[in-house]
Amino acid sequence: MGLITGLLTLPLAPVRGTVWLAERIQEQAEAEMYDEDAIRQSLLELEAARETGVMDEREIAAAEDELIERLMMIRGVGEGEIDGRE
Amino acid sequence: MSEGSVYVYGVLKAQAAKSVSSSGVASAPVRDVQHDGLAALVSTVEGGALAAAREVRAHWKVLEETSASATVLPVRFGTVLESEDAVRSTLLEPNAERLSSLLDELDGRVQLTVKGGYDEELLLRAVMREAPAIAAMNDDLRRLPQDAGYYGRIRLGEAVAAEVDRRREQDTGLALDRLAPLAAGSRSEALSAADAAFNLAFLVERDRIDGFSKAVAELAREFGERVTIRYVGPLPPYSFAEMELTGPGAKWD
Amino acid sequence: MAIAQATPRGYLERPRPSGLADVIDVILDKGLVIDAYIRVSLIGIEILTIDARIVIASVDTYLRFAEAVGRLDLREDESQGLPELMESVTSGGSKSKTQGALEGVKETLFGGDEEEEEEEEKEKAPSRSRSRSRSRSSSSGSSSSGSSSKRSSSSRSRSRKGSS
């Protein structure tokens, strides 16, 4: 049916849009645009999982963190050391 | 005056500034630095490494909490100034007028985002149905062996892409027709997914949200299965607050 | 397939509160930009000016559309439905290699030994992202390509600490 059903019935159940994207990702090495789409899609799925209570909040948050950091790496927004200014 | 670098979250009218309960970046408490009727929300950052995702969440929580009751101009993630003094003298003071008038314009309004996503299969079937030339190209290609017809596939894909773009324009126009009249402002943002139809930001009066929401529900019914609508908000006015702030003595290009 | 069908009818009658998925883009890309001249980037964050993320009409996109259209016919001919497509994605060894984010999600959610698999996943990720951020830096004209690899590796250890 939609996001939620998909998530419940298969261990890794991307919705059709994600399958489409996943297949393109494997063919084109690291087209940034598509990596980002997959990340966004996964974030949406995690949100759906949170609403259905299918997964532990800690697991969801950990997965989200990793995706956010990937997005940040792609964008070049990242964290670094803070130098003290003396 | 306090030493120490400060992370900046956003700017609001000083009179609207309240204490913030959410802890901010690096788990530091959030305070405000005031000047000239404006307040910048800040927290101290010490030396050391920061965990990226956690700080994104903290940044967002601070903005979410303050925007619930006040209009806040969000600052881009990751902005650090060298001191509270710098916040006053290089951020607030030189830009006071622009910031104030923007805040006045946005007062009492929130951003609501309406995104549309295509059902891929329905979309492509519609394209094939309504553009027989494309269906014909596809038929020709199917007769070729799998590894031949590379350029043919590109031409086919190009034709499909052009059709999809045309539909995007149409559907974006429809959504704007239905919703823009109920908003104080609207922006069409760039699409961020391959199967996206539109990505629209609306500036809506706080007390007009219900009416706007009804129109969004009506729009969803109008689109039917073709387009899935994702309706999000209220948000700080990200799409209506794009400004590049410079310090004193900086030259304008 | 619309989400609206899967949830109670009233779902669109008020805007949904913004989950991270909805706001991550605006948080990272939008908002007031404070000129680098007055901003001390102690955090070492490179704020790239992200131009409009327009879906790029390129050869890649065209190929994708062509394949998707081709697959439509396949479905009609052979009644190959979504489940089969998904199977081929989830079970194929070589195919699963570059799924990136999805694999990461799967591993984090269902992996037996979470630590180990996170480790694996992060091993894969930085080498990709290092080259990616390097090419980003050069195209935007910034000069910190040297530091970008440092950034990725330090973020790796940092996020392990930070994500619990």
| DSSP string covering chain C | --HHHHS-GGGGGSPBP--HHHHHHHHHH-SBEE-TTT---TT----------PPP-SHHHHHHHHHHHHHHHHHHHH---HHHHHHHHHH-TTTTTT-THHHHHHHHHH-SSHHHHHHHHHHHHHHHHHHHHHHHHHHHT-S-HHHHHHHHHHHHHHHHHHT-
Q: Which residues of A touch B53 (CB under 8 A)?
A: 64-66, 68-69, 72
> Taking all residues of chain A, what is their mean pLDDT, rounded to a whole number?
63
The fraction of chain B above a pLDDT of 90, given in percent, is 61
Domain boundaries, chain B: 5-107, 110-238
Category of B227 on φ-ψ map: left (φ > 0), alpha (ψ -120 to 50) or beta:
beta
Which of B83, B142, B153 to mutate to probe the C interface, most C CBs <10 Å?
A: B153
Q: Which residues of B touch A36 (CB under 8 A)?
A: 192
ipTM for the complex?
A: 0.82
Tell whether the model's pLDDT for residue C117 goes beyond 90: no
Asked if C39 reaches chain A (Cβ–Cβ under 8 Å), the answer is no
pLDDT in tens, C121-151: 444 433 333 333 333 333 333 333 333 322 2
Report pLDDT for C79: 44
Is the CB of residue B165 less than 8 Å from the CB of residue B191?
no
- pLDDT grade for B71, boundaries at 50, 70 and 90: very high
Report pLDDT for C22: 86
pLDDT in tens, C11-41: 567 887 778 888 998 898 888 887 654 554 4
Report pLDDT for A18: 57
Q: Which chains touch C (3 or more CB pairs under 8 A)?
A: A, B
- pLDDT grade for A19, boundaries at 50, 70 and 90: low
CA distance B194 to C63: 13
Asked if C118 reaches chain A (Cβ–Cβ under 8 Å), the answer is yes
More confident residue, A79 or B180: B180
Q: Which chains touch B (3 or more CB pairs under 8 A)?
A: A, C
Tell whether the model's pLDDT for residue B80 goes beyond 70: yes
Q: Which chains touch A (3 or more CB pairs under 8 A)?
A: B, C
Asked if B237 reaches chain C (Cβ–Cβ under 8 Å), the answer is no
- Lowest mean pLDDT: which of B142-146, B210-214, C92-96? C92-96
Tell whether the model's pLDDT for residue B178 goes beyond 60: yes
Report pLDDT for C146: 32
Asked if C158 reaches chain B (Cβ–Cβ under 8 Å), the answer is yes
Tell whether the model's pLDDT for residue B200 goes beyond 90: yes
Report pLDDT for C113: 43
Is the CB of residue A21 less than 8 Å from the CB of residue A38?
yes
Q: Which residues of C touch B187 (CB under 8 A)?
A: none
> Taking all residues of chain B, what is their mean pLDDT, rounded to a whole number?
89
Report pLDDT for B238: 93
H helices present in chain A, as ranges: 3-9, 16-27, 32-52, 57-75
The CATH class for the domain spanning B110-238 reads alpha beta
- pLDDT grade for A84, boundaries at 50, 70 and 90: very low
Report pLDDT for C60: 62
- Closest approach of chain A CAs to the CA of C61, in angstroms? 9
Tell whether the model's pLDDT for residue A39 goes beyond 70: yes
Query: Could you say which of C3, C40, C43 has the minimum Cβ distance to residue A2?
Result: C3
- Closest approach of chain A CAs to the CA of B83, in angstroms? 11
- Closest approach of chain B CAs to the CA of A65, in angstroms? 5
Is the CB of residue B183 less than 8 Å from the CB of residue B113?
no
Tell whether the model's pLDDT for residue A6 goes beyond 70: no
pLDDT in tens, B133-154: 988 888 888 888 766 777 788 8
- Closest approach of chain C CAs to the CA of B150, in angstroms? 9
Mean pLDDT of B69-94: 90
Report pLDDT for B150: 78
Tell whether the model's pLDDT for residue A71 goes beyond 50: yes
CA distance B26 to B46: 8
* Cβ–Cβ below 8 Å for A63 and C29: no
Report pLDDT for C138: 31
Tell whether the model's pLDDT for residue B199 goes beyond 80: yes
- Closest approach of chain A CAs to the CA of C73, in angstroms? 15
- pLDDT grade for A17, boundaries at 50, 70 and 90: low
